[in-house]
Amino acid sequence: MNGPTAQHVLVINAGSSSLKYQVVDATSGAALATGLIERIGEPNGLVSHAVGDAEHEREVAVPDHGAAMAAMSEAFAELGPDLAEANLVAVGHRVVQGGPDLTESVLITPEVETAIEDVSDLAPLHNPPNLAGIRAARETFADLPQVAVFDTAFHRTLPARAATYALDQEVATKHRIRRYGAHGTSHQYVARAAAHELGIAPEQANLIVLHLGNGASATAVANGRSVDTSMGLTPLEGLVMGTRTGDIDPAVVFHLARTAGMDIDEIDTIMNRRSGMLGLAGSNDMRDVVSAVEAGDERASLALEVYCYRLRKYIGAYTAVLGRVDAVVFTAGIGENSAPVRAGALAGLEGMGIRLDPAANEERGTVRISTPDSPVAVLVVPTNEEWEIARETVGVITA
């Protein structure tokens, strides 16, 4: 199972109630096995483990992240591949927020764990479960190096003018409020893959990368580096998402507090979990929204228009930021699969040199969907965050 250059990394993405894992070869990107443990903390956890074409599901009790790690080990032992034979070189952990100081992938030491804990106030929903995953993996895989790969790291190159909010700087500094961005691992992977597709060196590529999954973000990439991104202090800012508002007048918060008498947690829930496409169209799955539009549902039509219009505004803004754009790149669940969203986002941008090829837009996989004479290329590039985490992990342990 080991090619001569295979470097197998166990990649772990631990959320509050779920844990995703994958054994991936950092050299080729090939996944030996992938798995998902859901309903952590509930009485009946669900383990899904896939090896090749075979998928296995079972219910087990998974009271906490330690139990999730044990359930994962059990799945490997019973269903394969044998982790001892896979010859793992390290465990790579996705960590959402690195804060101002953790700006590169790093070997996890007790000091790094403390530093991740220190910035948990900036990502209260994500960093604590990420840490729980790290601690559980440290127990289970005591002999392997553990590496943290931060979702914010790719955005460390944001110039101050893009990272700074026009907020009272005393308050901002004291509370470490600035634009950190997110989805960095995906933007980094996709930017490099897009440059490869365009036949230019990654450090010369000027790109607008649109990561459109349940969460969604746009990044302006100049000469291979992130120079602006739509998510901010938290993933709430920017594009319209599955359940998040994206950009909104912050005074809506005061209004809901003062006029509707809502407390901060209620408003947080509304803006992070009940808005976006769910709030506009009644579903956060773009497939449902597009079907509803096709069936003549006006609410869904407006939702899709709002979604695409926001994308168009960001494409315009980032074109101004970059000056020269080599390509607009779509990725993640919606970006990779939804031709109507891509067409809607790019409609009317011919004057900016963006010409969509409607037939190519229906294709799947890594594909150029602009016309051959389009001054700005448009690409679809499937993301692969696990491979990027594996590569970063190997980079750290071999540095």
d(CA 38, CA 19): 7
Which tokens is 116 given? 């991740």
Closest CB 284 distance from ligand ADP, rounded Å = 6
Least distance from ligand ADP to the Cβ atom of residue 379, Å: 17
SS3 at position 30: coil
Q: Which C-beta is closer to ligand ADP: that of 25 or that of 385?
A: 385
CB 179 within 8 A of CB 233: yes
Q: Burial-class residue 330 by CB neighbours within 10 Å (0-12, 13-18, 19+).
A: buried
| Residue 211, annotated as binding a ligand | yes
Give whichever of 208 and 334 is closer to ligand ADP, judged by the CB atom.
Answer: 334
CB of residue 285 to ligand ADP, shortest distance in Å: 4
Task: Please check if 156 is assigned to a binding site.
Answer: no
Alpha carbon distance 254, 256 (integer Å): 6
Cα pseudo-dihedral 384, 389, 391, 397, rounded to 10: -170
Smaller CB distance to ligand ADP: residue 29 or 333? Answer: 333
Query: Which residues contribute to the site for ligand ADP (CB under 6 A)?
Result: 213-215, 242, 284-287, 332-334, 337-338
Of the pair 141, 180, the CB lying nearest ligand ADP is at 180
58 belongs to an annotated ligand binding site: no
- 233 assigned binding-site residue: no
Owner of token pair 């003062």: 258
Report in angstroms how near the CB of residue 360 gets to ligand ADP at its nearest: 17
Between 178 and 310, CB nearer to ligand ADP: 310
* Annotated binding residue 333: yes
- Confirm whether residue 336 is marked as ligand binding: yes
Question: Would strands 31-38 and 377-380 be described as parallel, antiparallel, or unpaired?
Answer: unpaired
Q: How far is the CB of 85 from ligand ADP (least distance, A)?
A: 30
Q: Return the SS3 of 329.
A: strand
**Other C-beta atoms lying within 10 Å of the C-beta of residue 374:** 19
Residue whose entry in the numeric block shows the structure tokens 């800012």: 237
The distance of closest approach from Cβ of residue 157 to ligand ADP in the complex, given in angstroms and rounded to an integer, is 24
150 DSSP β-pair partners: 95
Nearer to ligand ADP, 268 or 285 (CB): 285
Q: Which residue is nearest to ligand ADP (CB)?
A: 333
| Residue (of 83, 66, 53, 77) closest to 19 by Cα position | 66
Q: Is 148 helix (H, G, I), strand (E, B) or coil?
A: strand
Q: Which of 25, 53, 143, 151 is catalytic?
A: 151
Q: Is 337 labelled as part of a ligand binding site?
A: yes
Q: Is 151 a catalytic residue?
A: yes
Nearer to ligand ADP, 213 or 238 (CB): 213
Tokens of 361: 């837009």
Minimum CB–partner distance for residue 215 and ligand ADP (Å): 5
- Residue 233's φ and ψ, nearest 5 degrees, are -60, -40
Q: Judging by beta carbons within 10 Å of its beta carbon (0-12, 13-18, 19+), is residue 81 exposed, middle or buried? A: middle
**340: Cβ contacts below 8 Å, ≥ 6 apart:** 290, 293, 304
Is residue 335 part of an annotated ligand binding site?
Answer: yes
Burial of 264 from C-beta contacts in 10 A (0-12 / 13-18 / 19+)? exposed
What is each CA distance from 333 to 149, 216, 317, in whole angstroms?
22, 10, 23
Could you tell me which residues are annotated as the binding site for Mg(2+)?
13, 385
Binding site residues, as ranges?
A: 13, 20, 94, 211-215, 285-287, 333-337, 385
The set of catalytic residues is 151
Q: Which residues are annotated as a binding site for ATP?
A: 20, 211-215, 285-287, 333-337
